[in-house]
Amino acid sequence: MLDKAEKLLEQANLPLRAAEALMFYVGVVLASTVVGLLFQRSLLGGLVLGVIGALAPPAVLNFLAKRRRKRFMMQLPDTLTLLAGTLRAGYSFMQGVEATSREVEEPMGAELRRIITEAQLGRPLEEAMDASAERMGSADFQWAVIAVRIQREVGGNLAELLITVAETMTARQRLRGEVAALTAEGKISAIVLGILPVGLGAVLFVLNPEYMRVLFDDTLGQIMFAVACVSALLGFAWMKKIINIDI
């Protein structure tokens, strides 16, 4: 769990260690629970806000990490093309990576600078690139690392190889965009259907707590509430599986 949190924190570029993030998370959950108990003056109110406090930080962290990963992926083809240009201009591979790191924007620039720093400290360049690909969760960048390894083992024109990899990545990104456009309506429907029951229940709980309390105090109400939650989760998971297409 801490390893996964550490990876997400690095992907989101947040200056926190996993242990520090865990302490912050526990503090948010406790604070939201206390606020719910004080303002709602009921155990149920504290539980509701506690659940919100427990779900919000991971959701925000995943959002930030996913946004940074997406920007990294979008920059990758142009970065490889620029790197190939430096190699054609007579730079060594190390010099080309360093020159490219000064030209590209974040987050690619930061990752390339980290690769250069690790290589200067004695880590093999391919290993530093492998670590960056794993850190960013980028299979496409892993392709570029494999291309570099192949060229160093068997020789060949690395610049042309990087151009080919960049063109392949561009085609994949174009296809991803087309698929995203075709599945956008389904994704919106899944989000609306997933949020609607929760939002409606929260509004009814605020407007008429006694009306909603039946779902928690009465045995039949508890059964109905549990069945509704399970059905909603299964339906949301099913729709998500249908509309998520890996390319």
User: What is the pLDDT at residue 113?
Assistant: 93
Please confirm whether the linkage preceding 107 is cis (ω < 30° from 0): yes
Q: Is residue 123 a part of any domain in this protein?
A: yes
How many angstroms separate the CA atoms of 216 and 221, rounded? 6
> Domain of 104?
71-172
Q: Is residue 142 a part of any domain in this protein?
A: yes
Q: Is residue 43 a part of any domain in this protein?
A: no
Provide the CATH number for the domain around residue 78: 1.20.81
First and final C-alpha spacing in the chain? 27
User: What is the pLDDT at residue 200?
Assistant: 84
Residue stretches of the chain with pLDDT short of 50: none
Q: Is residue 207 a part of any domain in this protein?
A: no
The pTM score is: 0.69
User: What is the pLDDT at residue 44?
Assistant: 66
Q: Is residue 184 a part of any domain in this protein?
A: no
Q: Is residue 41 a part of any domain in this protein?
A: no
Average pLDDT of every residue of the chain: 83
How many angstroms separate the CA atoms of 68 and 12, rounded? 6
Task: For 15-54, give one letter per residue: b (16+ CB within 10 A) or e.
Answer: ebebeebeeebeebbeebbeebbeebeeebbbebbbeebe
Q: What is the pLDDT of residues 125-149, one digit of tens each?
A: 888 998 888 888 888 888 888 888 8
User: What is the pLDDT at residue 81?
Assistant: 92
Strands, E, within the chain: which ranges? none
Tally of domains within the chain = 1
Q: Is residue 62 a part of any domain in this protein?
A: no
User: What is the pLDDT at residue 247?
Assistant: 61
User: What is the pLDDT at residue 75?
Assistant: 92
User: What is the pLDDT at residue 115?
Assistant: 92
Q: Is residue 116 a part of any domain in this protein?
A: yes
CA distances in angstroms from 147 to 107, 129, 157, 194, 213, listed in the order given: 22, 12, 10, 42, 61
DSSP 218: S
User: What is the pLDDT at residue 2?
Assistant: 67
Alpha-carbon torsion 47, 52, 54, 55, what sign?
Answer: positive
Q: What is the pLDDT of residues 66-94, one digit of tens each?
A: 899 989 989 999 999 999 999 998 888 88
